[in-house]
Chain A
Amino acid sequence: MIHQYKLNGYNIVLDVNSGSVHCVDDVAYDIIQLFCEAKDHGEPEDRVAVKEKILAKYSGRDDVTPEDIDQTMADIDELEQQKKLFSEDIWEPSAGVLKERHTEVKAFCLHVAHTCNLNCEYCFASQGRFHGDRAIMSLETAKQAIDWLVANSGDHYNLEVDFFGGEPLMNWDVVKQTVAYARTLEKDHHKHFRFTLTTNGVGINDEVIDFTNKEMNNVVLSLDGRKEVHDRLRKFIDGRGSYDEIVPKFQKLVKARGDKEYYIRGTFTHNNVDFTEDLFQMAELGFDRLSIEPVVCSPDEPYALTEEDLPEIYHQYEILANWLMEREKAGKPVVFYHYMLDLEGGPCIYKRISGCGSGTEYYAVTPWGDLFPCHQFVGDEQFKMGDIWNGITRQDIKDDFKMCNVYAREECRDCWARLYCSGGCAANAFHGTGDIKGVFDYSCKIFRKRMECAVMIQVAKALGDLEPQAEQQR
């Protein structure tokens, strides 16, 4: 399968099954397109007809000669022999086996607090309670969760724990003691814990900053961008916006963090489809590692994204790509999470087929110690898989998630982005279609646009077009 597109002056050809990426000129682009059309009809390409069409289209160009077209076709043949163009899908028959490779646990989303000091309207956790009672995880439960993770992690060395909520800073002592406890297990069990903290920022103080910057591999800081956008939905219980209170705290934490990883993480809704303005605002505030996500909510909500929003969302992603490239050329790079694509050092085929690992190697743990496939299923009792004292008692749910790979969805078979998204998010699929193996088309459309932009940036980078001097030479 081939995906071709033109963006920002680059003609890009993706060979889906091998992961190969080619940047071609107009002539090669058209020849490959004609070859694809023939293959789509199950016919060998008529090379004489292809040559005639190309010569007719480029009749005004001296460099497009019959010999030149023959050479380009020979180049295409060579790439096909190298399995970098028109490569076959050899993964589907073994998709289940590939996913079986590792099903031990390696990551927890630890819900240390089902309560929150903000009252954000769009929160999928419903003010942190996940449609249940307010609750705080005890240290005993947190330690048992760590013990269960270690005991069920097989030969995994790297284990991950994200402190999540609700608002995890509302149970800060347990967070600190859990980290300290986990560290005591590392040497004897040959494990390495990587901790993440996701916070709304209200509870940040100097002590939180010091501990976080010492112990947390990554920090996710919730900020929606412009003050009026942020304050419209991210409010205190009394209705006040939270922007003025949290921004200075985030700035202080990030400044003290040095080179360690963090993300300013926003949500865009129907109210701010012009979300690049929010990313620009984040950069104005001095942040250089950014992420902004489409809101996850019922389509009935007034801030829900609509089908009519999509063209503008696509446009915004292109604006964003251009802005990031300009920043790179100016020597002031900004990282945008979804454009952070490593073509050479990206995920292997096992990871690409099996996806995020929810329900198999990644679980959410509630304050009571119950296990759910991921944080977005917490509160939906039909997805309760067991608990940290008795382990997984609903093997049927685990089996369902195990089969939730990229080839479990009919629609994914024809999608060029399937080995980038791995079939997408099971929670999004469930909330959008009622089935974890469903396809939530809206998310797919946004994902594909992001991937086109991300690949284009990587192509520009690989060609040396984003070097600071490249701009000066023009």
Chain B
Amino acid sequence: MYSDKVMDHFMNPRNVGEIENADGIGEVGNAKCGDIMKIYLKVEDNRIVDVKFKTFGCGSAIASSSMATELIKGKTLEEAWELTNVAVAEALDGLPPAKMHCSVLAEQAIHRAINDYRIKQGLEPWEDRFSGDDDHHHHE
């Protein structure tokens, strides 16, 4: 059902944990749907110097969080913002169709964490393709 890469990131998730006094925190999802993803960012000179996550959810939700945090570590905020759910899923060698929403949650959680940082810095939050689609994800 899952690729070896998904299983690897599920069994040995990277960047699990939280960051004390994080510069940006993003939480998305809800218990009703069975997935909650929370991402913590440490930002220095516009660059993500550390990132951690906590996730309540299925194997692919945990693997998506792990992969997404790996992909944005060391990146600038602009680069991290550009990370799409498809890129996360591809980096995991694919997700089952019913589990693609897990990768969407990862993208949304990163966006929310970046905007949390921007708001704390007194900057305008960026808009993404999910704007106005608060915490909603579809179960096809």
Query: Do A and B interact with each other, yes or no?
Result: no
A-contacting residues of B (Cβ < 8 Å)? none
Residues of chain A whose beta carbon lies under 8 Å from any beta carbon of chain B:
none
